[in-house]
Amino acid sequence: MLLSTSSNLERKYKVLGLVRGNTVRSRHIGADILAALKNIVGGELKGYTKMISSARDEATERMIAEAKKLKADAIIEIRYTAGEAAPGTVEILAYGTAVKFKR
């Protein structure tokens, strides 16, 4: 499956519709303690980075699964957004346009 943040493809295509995937993750208390300590000395919060990266991958896979149900060849104009779903959680949403290449 071709994934693209652009709609500028060299092939003609038919738009099948919006596809999306999301996940909600909660923070780990141990990571919160380490994050508080990092705020004092500075630096990357690797536990959070790993959590967000994993969540983004899961949201992407769910978006791809929706596109496969539509028999799409590609997802174009892919975007990601993140927000707090509830206190102490983060939601990652991946969305784009499923398309079928014209023969």
Average pLDDT over residues 5-21: 94
In this predicted model, what pLDDT tens digit does every residue of 51-77 receive, in sequence order? Answer: 889 999 999 999 999 999 999 999 999
* Whole-number pLDDT of residue 27: 66
* Whole-number pLDDT of residue 40: 66
Count of structural domains within the chain = 1
Cβ–Cβ < 8 Å for 79, 56: no
The size of the chain, in residues, is 103
* Whole-number pLDDT of residue 76: 97
* Whole-number pLDDT of residue 28: 60
Band (38; pLDDT cuts 50, 70, 90): low
Cβ–Cβ < 8 Å for 21, 64: yes
CATH classification of the domain holding 8: 3.30.110.70
Structural domain that includes position 90: 2-101
